[in-house]
Amino acid sequence: MLTTTAIKVLEPGELDDALAVLDRDPVANAFVAARVQIAGLDPWRLGGEMWGWYVDGRLESLCYAGANLVPVCATSEAIRGFAERARRQGRRCSSIVGPAESTGALWSLLEPYWGPAREIRAHQPLMVTTAPSAEIAPDPYVRRIRKNEMDLIMPACVAMFTEEVGISPMAGDGGLLYQARVAELVGAGRSFARIENGKVIFKAEIGAATQRACQIQGVWVDPAYRGKGLSETGMAAVLRYALSDVAPVVSLYVNDFNTAARASYRRVGFEEVGAFMSVLF
């Protein structure tokens, strides 16, 4: 009996099927799952299309195609299908990101058409914890950023993004989309910082968040304060908030060449459980 396969854009009525796929790996899929839980599958609200790979009429794999191209629980056959659809459509994303194996396979098929990339980060350890380490005391001065403190937190966010990604988030649209995302996290109570003399010296956010898992992002220490342990005590404080207020599992991913950060996160209680990959354009 022949197996039939198909690829198409999911419709809003297929939300439960999409969530079932995302729930297979709530940690790795937290970014996409969080968007879908908030926005559903309507492309306008979701900020992109959700492509589905079907085998004998059953939804097996997903690919979020928005500002990022993100394969989700993608089989090798699904990756080929997603790559062909992306190739025909043309590049609309600023990055491809996701689990290293599937992202690498997807990029290998798209590189002849979309390459060269501005930067490839082929191995970004995915780190997870369900409990903080008893060895690092949380910084008592790390707190939630208030809605009226956007002007205070934005310079630190821009500095972090520019340092991490290599380009300023204020380019293109003048930073409107980036400011909106920062404001969204502040409004949701998921932006944290230590502030001294009116200046942010440590900051981090709880980005993607579902009931099952959340992801810490945007960790940054003012260069003048680095080497003093603020990243460890600050992360311990954000982790405490995340576990108590957001989800029972907390994750992050980090560049493999950032050995100092990886060591700090391990001391705070994180363990490496896999790897992501990012292709930046």
Structural domains of the chain ordered from first start: 5-116 (3.40.630), 129-275 (3.40.630.30)
User: What is the per-residue pLDDT for 4?
Assistant: 93
Strand (E) or helix (H) holding 13: none
Whole-number Å distance between alpha carbons of 119 and 104: 13
User: What is the per-residue pLDDT for 174?
Assistant: 84
User: What is the per-residue pLDDT for 173?
Assistant: 84
For residue range 6-55, what is the model confidence (pLDDT) as tens digits? 999 999 999 999 999 999 999 999 999 999 999 999 999 999 999 999 99
Looking at the chain, the whole-number percentage of residues with pLDDT higher than 70 is 100
User: What is the per-residue pLDDT for 1?
Assistant: 62
Spatial neighbors of 174 by CB under 8 A, at least 6 apart, are none
User: What is the per-residue pLDDT for 242?
Assistant: 98
For residue range 107-140, what is the model confidence (pLDDT) as tens digits? 999 999 999 999 999 999 999 999 999 999 999 9
Only one residue has tokens 């300023």, namely 168
Alpha helix positions (H), the chain: 15-22, 30-39, 43-46, 76-89, 100-114, 150-165, 176-187, 230-245, 259-268
Mean pLDDT per 10-residue section of the chain, whose length is 281 residues = 88 97 97 97 96 97 97 98 97 97 98 96 98 95 97 96 92 88 96 97 97 97 95 97 97 95 96 97 95
User: What is the per-residue pLDDT for 172?
Assistant: 78
Whole-number Å distance between alpha carbons of 31 and 138: 26
The answer to whether the beta carbons of residues 219 and 167 sit under 8 Å apart is no
